[in-house]
Amino acid sequence: MTIKRGRPPHNDILTPAEWRIVDAVRHGLTNKQIAARRGISEDAVKYHVANAIAKLGIKNKKALRFWEGAPMDSQLARGESEMSTDFQIQGVGQIARTVSDVERSKSWYSEVLGLELLYAFDKLAFFNCGGVRLMLSETEVAAEKESIVYLWVPNVNVAYESLSDRGVEFVSAPHRVHKHDNGVEEWMAFFNDPEGRPLAIMSNVGND
């Protein structure tokens, strides 16, 4: 019996490995970042990129970033006709922050802040933050300045005391930042994540 060697045949335009690289390119990652996340060399990334460009008949990597296509076995390709044709923003789906050590941050966000870890892979970790997904991505050097993530809590004082007991160092005590015309007050307290960048807890006090 003859045993066939080599990669199994694919009926799609790209191989699974090429699709992974193409998606990473379209996500805006550099060759170095892709190599680090996939655990391969930069030369291997360049090889897959060149193969994809040749197969798709496009000009260059920039064109690859804007190429619209989906794997044949993807939900998007199979269920595209069922998707809504109306444009509507339904809310914030995800907030992203960079970290220098995703394992350390994963423990801190789950154990100290008590956020639910949804899943993690490569150098990424995803948490449920009141229905909005929080993504942590590991980079060689975390950004010094990023948008502040404000976390809703039922009682700002209780949250302040609980987090302080867990070792969180606050910049200041809870304080009122605004009083609405209807009497509702907004209270906040700021603290830092393991990278030394600001987060905040916030509560509305009073009847709407």
Query: 16-71 with 92-142: one CATH topology?
Result: no
pTM of the model: 0.67
Q: State percent of the chain over pLDDT 70.
A: 85
Cβ contact 191:198 at 8 Å: yes
Written out in words, the top-level CATH class of the domain with range 92-142 is alpha beta
The tokens for 50 are 């060149």
Domain range annotation of the chain: 16-71, 92-142, 148-208
Among 125, 161, 149, CA closest to 198: 149
The predicted pLDDT at position 186 comes to: 86
Q: Is the pLDDT of residue 8 over 90?
A: no
Cβ contact 156:111 at 8 Å: no
Q: State percent of the chain over pLDDT 90.
A: 37
Q: Is the pLDDT of residue 107 over 90?
A: yes
The predicted pLDDT at position 203 comes to: 87
Q: Is the pLDDT of residue 11 over 80?
A: yes
Q: Indicate the CATH number of 148-208 among 3.10.180.10, 3.30.70.141, 3.40.50.300, 3.40.228.10.
A: 3.10.180.10
Compute the mean pLDDT over every residue in the chain, rounded to the nearest whole number.
84
- Tell me the residue length of the chain: 208
What would the CATH number be for the domain defined by 16-71?
1.10.10.10
- pLDDT, one tens digit per residue, over 133-184 is 999 988 877 667 778 888 999 888 899 889 999 999 998 788 778 878 888 8
- pLDDT, one tens digit per residue, over 54-96 is 999 999 999 998 888 888 877 666 664 455 566 666 777 889 8
Mean pLDDT, residues 38-64 taken together: 94
